[in-house]
Amino acid sequence: MSGRIRFLLGTERREVEVADPTMTVLNYLRLVEQRTGTKEGCAEGDCGACTVVLAELGHDHLAYRAVNSCIQFLPSLDGKQLLSVEDLASSRSVLHPAQQAMVECHGSQCGFCTPGFVMSLFALFHAPGHLDRRRIDDALAGNLCRCTGYGPIIAAASRMKEIADGDRFDEAEAETVRALRALRGQPGEAGEAPDGRRWFAPRRIEDLAELVLSFPEASLVAGATDAGLWVTKQHRRLDPVIYLGEVEELARIAVGPETIEIGAGVTYDRLQEVIAADYPDFAELLRRLGSTQIRNCGTMGGNIANGSPIGDSPPPLIALGARLVLRRSAARREIALEDFFLDYGKQDRRPGEFVESIRLPRRDPAWRFACYKISKRFDQDITASLGAFNLKLAGGGVADIRICFGGMAAIPKRARECEAALIGRPWSLDTVREGQAALRRDYTPISDMRASRGYRALAAENLLLKFFHETGEGAALTRTRILQPAGPSHG
């Protein structure tokens, strides 16, 4: 237990004794390294002023990921390259194309959000493919600007690759890969802070299993997109902390003929690509989950295991019949995902157990799936209400249907009454009206700052109606922003 981590800060190797295992990367940069270019705007991963980029070894190349340094903990840097805004310009007079484009397009006014935007643009600069408005919106959804109205920044995003197609980071890639490889090969790290807080960062899943067994009270931290706020907003003392980010087995996705097996450590960003063909609506939902920075870190296991009633992935997963694999030491048990959520803040996770994977059935052409998320702001907002519908029609009637809502109860909850009112009935407006009445028996939503109970209830009923119209024969438009499903054949 050396308690040390090794990473590159820009091109410089750092080996750091972890004195505070939940020190944020932002505080490390600002207070320890005196790099004050990176700003704190919200300390909860919502404004993006703190955005930095982590470069990691892919197979042979580097992957650049924008992350929120305000909620990432220092140990998450182990083995990676950390780039902050100070690293980009090669000199005072030679700006990086992302920076140069921001200057040319008048992309900064007060400038406080600007370093974060520059880092998101830098990550986008290194992402393959053509940059259209949609991709730019996705890349910047996690960066709030209060001054410009975004137009000049969007222009800068479009402009930067005209200034140069590559940068000195591309030129130095081989060198950086070598330097990162030289950091690897260390055993899984662990340490104890001077104040007694313990932390572990296992590499093998067997080691993780034993650690969870030994410390059933430990906080399991994967992407820290929720756990980060326990520290920055709730000021909780986490002890011990087990970091899951180094466990490669947890980050696997296996696409089989019947099932997609999703490791608990798979990020939203990666899953989005994998499921896009089978479930475009689910992929679109994941695209709207948090921001690029959040999706780069947040994991499917975390989204489920924290038991939030407004987590975005459980309703579609439940509607699609997903199952959960829980592991305790070497033993595994598999349950229907819906059975995992017992009550508010209470899940069927036994001491010593952890979520290992999610098993998602592949698309069955006999079923039609859609999901809808309602929030005050379209991108990067937390769900007010989320409906997921999975319908099997036979001979014009409802052979089977699974409906699950988030934001409508203390847990992600199936609409059993509604389902019962629909199954075996013709798929008609009359049936839908009965289903809407049944929804009122299924849920008694609450009022909070995101929506009133009345709105939640009404919107839920209307979402069923919307699903009906999208699965019926008519071709009426039903979506303001996201892609219109392609009529009745949409699966």
Partner 1 sequence: MDKRLPRDRIAGGAHQAIAHDSAAKHVTGEALYIDDIPAPPNLVHLFAGTATKAHARLTRLDLAAVRAAPGVVAVLTAEDIPGTNDVSPVGAGDDPIFCEGEVVFLGQVLFAVAAESFDSARAAAKLAVAEYEELPALLTVEAALQAGSFLLPDHVMRRGDAAAAIRGAPGRLGGRLAIGGQDHFYLEGQVSLALPQEDGDVLIHCSTQHPSEVQQGVAHVLGRPRNAVTVEVRRMGGGFGGKETQAAQWAAIAALAAVKTGRPAKFRFERDDDMIMTGKRHDFLIDYDVGFDREGRILGIEFMQACRGGCSADLTGAIADRAMFHADNGYYLDQVAITSHRCRTNTVSNTAFRGFGGPQGMMGIETVMEAIARRLGKDPLEIRKLNLYGKGERNITPYHQTVEENVLPETIAALEADADYAGRRRAIAAFNAESPWLKKGLALTPVKFGISFTTSHLNQAGALIHIYTDGSIHLNHGGTEMGQGLFVKVAQVVAEELQVDLDRIKITATSTGKVPNTSATAASSGSDINGMAALAAARTLKQRLIDFAADRYKVPPAEVRFLPGRIAIGAPGRIVEEIAFPDLIKEAWLARVSLSATGYYATPGIYYDRSTASGRPFYYFAYGAAVSEVLVDSLTGEYKVARVDILHDVGKSLNPAIDLGQIEGGFIQGMGWLTSEELVWDSTGRLRTHAPSTYKIPACSDRPADFRMTLLANENREPAIFRSKAVGEPPLMLAISVFAAISDAIASLAGYRLLPALDAPATPERVLLAVEEIRARQAADLTRQDRPRHQARPAAIRRARSAE
CA distance 100 to 118: 10
Per-residue contact track with partner 1, 16 to 35, x per CB under 8 A? Answer: ------------------xx
Applying the rule CB under 8 A, the residues between 379 and 398 that interact with partner 1 are: 379-382, 384
Applying the rule CB under 8 A, the residues between 341 and 380 that interact with partner 1 are: 372, 374-380
Among 255, 469, 472, 490, binds partner 1 (CB under 8 A): 469
Q: How far is the CB of 51 from partner 1 (least distance, A)?
A: 12
Q: How far is the CB of 136 from partner 1 (least distance, A)?
A: 7
Determine, following the binding rule CB under 8 A, whether residue 481 of this chain makes contact with partner 1: yes
Rg (CA), the chain: 23
* 3-state helix/strand/coil string of 322-363: CEEEEEECCEEEEEEHHHHEEECCEECCCCCEEEEEEEEECC
Among 8, 16, 26, 47, binds partner 1 (CB under 8 A): 47
Segments of 244-329 assigned E as strands: 253-255, 259-263, 323-328
CA distance 110 to 38: 14
Which CB sits closer to partner 1, 107 or 265?
107
Largest CA distance in the chain: 71
Which CB sits closer to partner 1, 81 or 99?
99
Q: How far is the CB of 142 from partner 1 (least distance, A)?
A: 8
Part of the chain binding partner 1 (CB under 8 A), chosen from 42-50, 175-183, 252-260, 429-437: 42-50
User: If 0-12 CB within 10 Å is exposed, 13-18 middle and 19+ buried, where does residue 192 land?
Assistant: middle
Judge contact between 439 and 417, C-beta under 8 A: yes
Applying the rule CB under 8 A, the residues between 73 and 112 that interact with partner 1 are: 84-86, 88-89, 92, 95, 98-100, 102-104, 106-112
Instruction: For residue 63, give every residue at least 6 positions away whose Cβ sits within 8 Å of its Cβ, in sequence order, or none.
Output: 55, 56, 57
Determine, following the binding rule CB under 8 A, whether residue 143 of this chain makes contact with partner 1: yes
Per-residue contact track with partner 1, 228 to 267, x per CB under 8 A? Answer: -----x-x--------------------------------
Place of tokens 């987590």: 311
Which CB sits closer to partner 1, 308 or 357?
308
219: left (phi over 0), alpha (psi -120 to 50) or beta: beta
129: left (phi over 0), alpha (psi -120 to 50) or beta: left
Among 320, 459, 471, 485, binds partner 1 (CB under 8 A): 459
Part of the chain binding partner 1 (CB under 8 A), chosen from 9-17, 40-48, 335-343, 360-368: 40-48
Q: How far is the CB of 380 from partner 1 (least distance, A)?
A: 6
